[in-house]
Amino acid sequence: MKTMRKNILARVVGVGLAIGLASPAIARDDARKHDQAQNREDVQQKDQNKKHDRQQTQASQRPAENGRRNETFAPTRPDRRAMEMRQREQSQSRNAERREQQERTQQRMAERRQSEHERAQQSQARQRADEQRMRQQRLEAQRRERETDARRDAQRRSTLAQQQEAARRAADARRRADIEQRERRSRDADRARQHQQQRLSEMERQRRIAEQRERAAEYRRYADARRDAERHRIASLQQQRRIRQYRYQQWYWERQREMQAQWRARNYSYYSDPYYYTPASYRYFRDGRYYQVNQYAADLLRQAVRYGYQEGVRAGRADRLDGWRNDYRGNYAYMDANFGYNGYYVNRGEYEYYFRQGFRRGYEDGYGRDYRYGAYNDGNYSILAAVLAAILNFQPYG
């Protein structure tokens, strides 16, 4: 009996501790949701307890009735204290069972609340995931739309730039054509006027021929001596690994040698060349003094500026592609400045001066790719007629 009492007391204490440790916050949060279910379960539990009490009462009364029936046969009356003790134990057992049932009911309710809480959390997580996915989809759609707009804008800008460049080139071509046509008409008029003028005297003609012979001989000596400088320059470019500039220099010398070979192979006659009896028709100012030249010498100086610009563009482009510094003075084509010169009509110093004027401007256009002084058309570089006229500044003479 003592052991049974201890067990019952331990159960009661355990149940009390379990009930005391249950979270009141969770019970308050979920009480409103389960009030009706709890009321129904409490009513059912009370009915069951009442039914169980009646059954226990009937069961306890049966021995008493049987005892009264058998009083005549029993030698002594039953122990009342033992019966009370037994009833008290049965009542405690019933109370313990009710508490256990209540604990199971509370445990089921807690499990149900936990399950509902987990389902709510899962639902919220799914909802957040859906919202995140929709937000990412919106952002991705906005990004694709921005990229599409940027591509359209870039394409429009490129098309507009191409149209503007085409219009600029067409305008430059028309302007150059107009200027060249005016220059050609002017040259034709000058030549016609010169033919009508009286030729130079025979003495002046002989003086020019003698001067030209000496000039041509001096230029041939210079051209022969220049070969050593050519080899030294090519070796220096190879050491510096300036591949583009090395190729350009080879092209420069090959073209120069070809032109010299053509000039030497021709059957030139001093007495049939109109330069020697054509009087001066232009004058220009340089280094503090005026110079007079006829139409043929003027054309050669124009050629010097044009050749200088073309070679300057090629040299500047080669240095830019080689990653070399901007140094037009250090380029051998600038130092040589004899490309296209054959030793006739003007002094070598005059030709070199105007060649370098064109070369410097062409080098800036080729190195910087902005073409401020000329234009590029179908693989050809040409200086603007206005720039050419400003460099030479020819004035009518005679």
Residue 74 is predicted with a pLDDT of 45
Highest-confidence range of 152-166, 232-246, 296-310, by mean pLDDT?
296-310
The whole-angstrom separation of Cα 281 and Cα 298 is: 9
How would you classify the pairing of strands 282-286 and 395-396? antiparallel
Give the pTM: 0.49
| Mean pLDDT across 350-357 | 95
> Of 97-106, 218-227, 318-327, where does mean pLDDT reach its minimum?
218-227
Local confidence band at 370 (pLDDT 50, 70, 90 cut-offs): confident
- Whether 304 maps to a domain, the answer reads yes
Residue 7 is predicted with a pLDDT of 65
- Across the chain, mean pLDDT equals 80
Local confidence band at 196 (pLDDT 50, 70, 90 cut-offs): very low
SS3 at position 72: coil
Percent of the chain whose predicted confidence (pLDDT) is above 90: 21
| Mean pLDDT across 356-377 | 92
Structural domain for 250, as ranges: 194-396
pLDDT at 282 over 90: yes
**DSSP alpha helix (H) spans, the chain:** 2-21, 24-31, 35-69, 80-196, 202-240, 243-265, 295-322, 332-336, 348-368, 385-392
The whole-angstrom separation of Cα 49 and Cα 26 is: 28
Residue 72 is predicted with a pLDDT of 47
Residue 384 is predicted with a pLDDT of 94
CB 352 within 8 A of CB 337: yes
Please write the tens of the pLDDT for every residue from 56-75. 666 665 555 555 555 444 44
Local confidence band at 197 (pLDDT 50, 70, 90 cut-offs): very low
Q: How many domains does the chain have?
A: 1
pLDDT at 351 over 80: yes
- Whether 207 maps to a domain, the answer reads yes
Local confidence band at 266 (pLDDT 50, 70, 90 cut-offs): confident
- Whether 55 maps to a domain, the answer reads no
Local confidence band at 16 (pLDDT 50, 70, 90 cut-offs): low
- Whether 376 maps to a domain, the answer reads yes
- Whether 4 maps to a domain, the answer reads no
- Whether 91 maps to a domain, the answer reads no
What would the two tokens of residue 367 be? 């190195």
Residue 371 is predicted with a pLDDT of 86
- Whether 246 maps to a domain, the answer reads yes
- Whether 216 maps to a domain, the answer reads yes
The whole-angstrom separation of Cα 245 and Cα 233 is: 11
| Mean pLDDT across 25-38 | 60
